[in-house]
């Protein structure tokens, strides 16, 4: 229960404040040790007494904790409540983190929807292979800047979820076909190889919505890290032979396409 001070304002013991705020006494003691929330008063015997101002500060601490701030960040923000700069800086940083989390959840949601659609489709694929292929899809997204991801999210919104799901299915299948051509040593000017190259170009153009910078960054990433991707695309095959020679073959496939 709260007490009444000499000027008629309520005072709370640490136990009463913990009950009012829905927190533990241990947490309040920890806040006191950190200097985040020190009681404005002490009784002659040394017991803590918290005022309305202390309660208001506690609500500020809780709000900032709910926004994901660390206790150190909160201490910096509350050190000078009259200066909005530190709070603005921390909120801006956390907003960026929240945007990142939202984007990753949307990507996970899209992949989960695609997985369910395929599992519930007329021809059910092998589950292990399907999971591997869907896992590969996220590799594209992780290499992009926030601006590029926002651009692609807007593009995905316009083309619709079904088109994006078809793309998620198409690119691993095309890449697997390129591997077949490479291992068979098919000439890059062979009509079938050209058809595969055209499919690969179309997939890249569709994914990147025509953005050349995204295409260049993806090309560089696959040349540096593509063997790991290929392990997911071809889970039942060894991929040790798919190094620089394979990606050079892909480059020659592109170069052999007739200009339009």
Tell whether the model's pLDDT for residue 204 goes beyond 90. Answer: no
Angle at 41 between CA 35 and CA 45, to 5 degrees: 110
Fold of 2-83: Multidrug-efflux Transporter Regulator; Chain: A; Domain 2 (1.10.1660)
Tell whether the model's pLDDT for residue 8 goes beyond 80. Answer: no
User: Is residue 188 very low, low, confident or very high in pLDDT (cuts 50, 70, 90)?
Assistant: very high
First to last CA, the chain: 81
Q: Give the ranges where 22-84 is alpha helix by DSSP (H).
A: 25-34, 52-66, 71-78
Q: What is the pLDDT of residue 81?
A: 67
> Of 192 and 154, which is predicted with more confidence?
192
User: Is residue 25 very low, low, confident or very high in pLDDT (cuts 50, 70, 90)?
Assistant: very high
> What average pLDDT does the chain have?
78
> 3-class DSSP state for residue 247?
helix
Tell whether the model's pLDDT for residue 233 goes beyond 60. Answer: yes
Tell whether the model's pLDDT for residue 185 goes beyond 70. Answer: yes
Tell whether the model's pLDDT for residue 193 goes beyond 90. Answer: yes
Q: Could you give the residue range(s) of every CATH 1.10.1660.10 domain in the chain? A: 2-83
Taking the CA atoms of residue 234, residue 238, residue 241 and residue 245 in that order, the dihedral angle to the nearest 10 degrees is 10
User: Is residue 143 very low, low, confident or very high in pLDDT (cuts 50, 70, 90)?
Assistant: low
Tell whether the model's pLDDT for residue 136 goes beyond 50. Answer: no
User: Is residue 89 very low, low, confident or very high in pLDDT (cuts 50, 70, 90)?
Assistant: confident
Taking the CA atoms of residue 228, residue 230, residue 234 and residue 238 in that order, the dihedral angle to the nearest 10 degrees is -70
Return d(Cα 200, Cα 179) in angstroms, integer. 12
């Amino acid at each position: 229960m709260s007490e009444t001070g000499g000027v008629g304002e309520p005072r709370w013991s640490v136990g009463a404040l913990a009950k009012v705020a829905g927190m533990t006494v241990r947490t309040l003691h920890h806040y006191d040790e950190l200097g985040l929330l020190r009681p404005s008063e002490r009784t002659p015997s040394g017991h803590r007494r918290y005022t309305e101002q202390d309660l208001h500060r506690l609500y500020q601490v809780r709000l900032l904790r709910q926004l994901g701030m660390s206790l150190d960040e909160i201490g910096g923000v509350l050190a000078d409540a009259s200066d909005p700069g530190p709070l603005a800086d921390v909120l801006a940083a956390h907003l960026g983190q929240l945007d990142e989390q939202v984007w990753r959840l949307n990507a996970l949601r899209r992949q989960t929807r695609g997985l369910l659609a395929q599992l519930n489709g007329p021809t059910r694929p092998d589950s292990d292979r399907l999971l591997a292929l869907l896992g590969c899809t996220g590799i594209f997204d992780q290499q992009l800047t926030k601006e590029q991801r926002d651009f692609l999210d807007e593009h995905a919104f316009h083309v619709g979820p079904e088109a994006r799901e078809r793309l998620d299915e198409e690119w691993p299948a095309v890449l697997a076909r390129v591997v077949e051509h490479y291992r068979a040593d098919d000439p890059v000017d062979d009509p079938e190889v050209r058809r595969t190259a055209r499919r690969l170009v179309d997939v890249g153009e569709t994914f990147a919505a025509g953005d050349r910078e995204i295409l260049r960054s993806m090309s560089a990433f696959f040349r540096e890290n593509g063997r790991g991707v290929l392990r997911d695309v071809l889970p039942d095959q060894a991929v040790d032979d798919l190094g620089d020679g394979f990606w050079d073959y892909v480059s020659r496939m592109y170069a052999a396409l007739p200009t339009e």
